[in-house]
Amino acid sequence: MSGDESDIRRLLAMYCQLIDDGRFDEWIELFTDDIEFVVMGMHQHGHAELRGFIEPSQQADARGKHMISEPWIEIESATAATATTDFAWVSKQGAVGQAGRYHDRIVKQNERWQFQRREIVFTGDQPE
């Protein structure tokens, strides 16, 4: 496994752990300034819009665990990659609340990989 692939796997894991822990200041830094975040037909653009969308729905009483599968990573160049990763979100009570697939466009800027676009596609739906 290349160093880039290892770094991308770490990015994917950090997304889950930071949001599950409510560490939003660190979580938002996983995204480029021009992030496009797509879920349920809604598009969020940029850090402020994304954080304003996610943080209210991820308060301590509503958090669970984001579980991810082995990702399929395609390194396109020294600064661009794509990844698809299956996920399940498990509530505090242990019930699977959502499942689906992340479709990511990931870029390397300033020596670190970040999400440039993330589309969350729930099981049974199709990506845009």
pLDDT reported for residue 60: 81
Overall average pLDDT of the 20-30 stretch: 96
- Identify the pLDDT of residue 45: 98
* Residues 31 and 50: beta-carbon distance below 8 Å: yes
Give the pLDDT band (50/70/90) at residue 1.
Answer: low
Residue 124 scores a pLDDT above 80: yes
117: region left, alpha or beta (phi > 0 left; psi from -120 to 50 alpha) = beta
pLDDT surpasses 80 at 105: yes
Q: Report pLDDT digits (tens) over 51-103.
A: 999 988 888 888 899 999 999 999 999 999 999 999 999 998 999 999 999 99
Residues in the chain: 128
Residue 44: the pLDDT is 97
Cα 101 → chain centroid: 10
Q: Can you give the residue ranges of every domain in the chain?
A: 3-122
CATH T-level topology, domain 3-122: Nuclear Transport Factor 2; Chain: A, (3.10.450)
